[in-house]
Amino acid sequence: MDVFISYEHQSKSIADNICAVLESKGIRCWYAPRDVYGDYATSIVEAIESCKVFVLILNCDSSNSPHVLNEVEIAYQRILKGEIAIVPFKVDAGLLSKAMEYYVKRLHWIDAVSAPLEKAISQLYEQLVPILGIKEQPAAPSAEAQPVNTDRKGVTYYSPDDFVEMQRLQLEDELLFEYEKPLYDKLMFDKEGLDVLDLSVLNPRSTIRRFNRAEVKNVVALSYSDGVIAEGNDLSSEMEGIGFYKFNPAQDSVYDDLPPIMHKAGVEQFDLINLTMAFLDLKNPFKTLNRLKKFLRPGGMMFVRDVDDGVVFAYPDRDKLFEQFKEFYKYDTLSGSRNSARQVFNVMKKLGAKQVKLERCGINTASMDYDHKRLLFKSWFSFIPNDFRQILKEQPNNEKAKEVMNWVDEYYDDLEEEFFGDDFLFNSGYFIYTVLF
């Protein structure tokens, strides 16, 4: 079953419309009372636990409904494990209850208030396409297949409207935070009044989670995405010292653009520069960081999390599915430099770092429980189908993208099944460095 539709009974006609449209396009839906067999509560719980997407018809009635909130709570526990996507479908302009706001405030919802219902349902379908892996017909031939992506280039691909990537980033940060927090604690031990620069932010909640702490006085969070900036400033509106600003570190105007932001934030220099998945998206890391280092206080620190496919392995890869999947990385023009993390030590030493410590070289499944393995699988593998789906939308005649998506359609489920085998070991390419100047 693909989609569970949650609603309060006053919105049944809307649920009927959504279900009719989605099922006409081949998406299997479940909603009460149509699909209830046997015990009502048991049927609902089983349906939520087996669906891939939880569509929430959101209004004042559902926001305050104990039954709907119970359903959302069950779905929310699955989203924390990376097993489900929640898509709110907002149908009135009323305020949400505090309980509902807790679950859905950070989620991107479909606006059925200002848009006609028919258009909003079409937008819902478009959002479900990448989540459910629905194969769309290409619009029209235009571009040639992309060559192998081996050269560094500045990448600014992210959009908050890309629900699949937004969810992947949240799951990735959830997984890696437990590895990173002890390192942040160590860097900031016995310090106070720290000024932090967080570069190339794509998940504002993670910035707040990392740096909304007693040792930190100010956080300047930079992003090239207007949507990320708006979300970050909304989330931190009642927090003192945290601000999100528009800034592209790959541009040559660092010296001109950063000082006004620092002045506005009340910061003269930074004690810590945070580079979480930023290094791989820089065309010239040394050039960019050399400029940013001029805003780092003497004795300052850098924290780097990045990726390098050179340490990735899977065993036993009986059918060579993981070996083949890894080959697709180098054709992904949206994912940055995939052999980036190995370069961090060299670049930091050229910048004059006194100590560069490799804290993590890969995150593996050897001692992971099921929930953590689920987070790792979603974090490390889901970007390939989503990226190549985006590439095909822009380049419908891209033969390599077609080849990748055909492979994904045929083998991705087999890849996932093998990943969760009892005798299977996977090492991902996440690297973590701490740097002292």
Lowest mean pLDDT among 67-71, 194-198, 246-250: 246-250
Domain count, the chain: 2
**pLDDT over 80 (residue 145):** no
Same domain, yes or no, for 342 and 398? yes
**pLDDT over 80 (residue 254):** no
For residues 89-107, average pLDDT:
88
**pLDDT over 70 (residue 278):** yes
Is 289 within 8 Å of 246 (Cβ atoms)? no
Contacts of 323 (CB under 8 A, 6+ apart): 314, 317
Range of the domain at 32: 3-132
Residue type at 420? F
**pLDDT over 90 (residue 161):** no
How far, in Å, CA of 198 to CA of 358, rounded?
A: 20
pLDDT at 217: 97
Would residue 375 count as lying in a domain? yes
> What residues are paired with 433 via a beta bridge?
304, 358
Provide the CATH number for the domain around residue 298: 3.40.50.150
More confident residue, 6 or 335: 6
Would residue 142 count as lying in a domain? no
Contacts 24+ apart (CB under 8 A), 165-170: 165/383, 165/386, 166/108, 166/203, 167/79, 167/82, 167/85, 167/378, 168/378, 168/379, 168/382, 168/383, 168/386, 169/202, 169/203, 169/206, 170/203, 170/205, 170/206
Same domain, yes or no, for 235 and 362? yes
pLDDT at 152: 42
pTM exceeding 0.75: no
**pLDDT over 90 (residue 214):** yes
Torsion of CA 385, 390, 392, 394, to 10 degrees: -170
Same domain, yes or no, for 359 and 272? yes
User: 272 falls in which pLDDT band (50, 70, 90)?
Assistant: very high
**pLDDT over 80 (residue 41):** yes
**DSSP code per residue over 30-41:** E-TTTT--SSHH
**pLDDT over 70 (residue 154):** no
Tokens of 169: 């980033």
Same domain, yes or no, for 127 and 176? no
Same domain, yes or no, for 185 and 97? no
Same domain, yes or no, for 94 and 197? no
Same domain, yes or no, for 127 and 179? no
pLDDT at 252: 55
Strand order in 110-111's β-sheet? 29-30, 3-6, 53-58, 85-90, 110-111
pLDDT at 94: 84
Tokens of 45: 């719980």
pLDDT at 115: 82
User: 83 falls in which pLDDT band (50, 70, 90)?
Assistant: confident
Same domain, yes or no, for 123 and 195? no
Contacts of 408 (CB under 8 A, 6+ apart): 133, 384, 385, 388
Provide the CATH number for the domain around residue 24: 3.40.50.10140
Query: How many other CB atoms sit within 10 Å of the CB of residue 14?
Result: 19
What b/e sequence results for 94-124 when a residue is b if at least 16 CB atoms lie within 10 Å of its CB, and e otherwise? eebeeebeebbeebbbbebeeeeeeebbebb
Lowest mean pLDDT among 33-42, 140-149, 218-227: 140-149
Given 112, 132, 152, which residue is the final one in a domain? 132
Largest Cα span, the chain: 69
Is 281 within 8 Å of 156 (Cβ atoms)? yes
Would residue 148 count as lying in a domain? no
**pLDDT over 80 (residue 379):** yes
Would residue 154 count as lying in a domain? no
Would residue 146 count as lying in a domain? no
Q: What's the whole-number average pLDDT of the chain? A: 88
pLDDT at 148: 46
pLDDT, tens digit (0-9, with 9 covering 90-100), for 309-322: 999 999 999 899 99
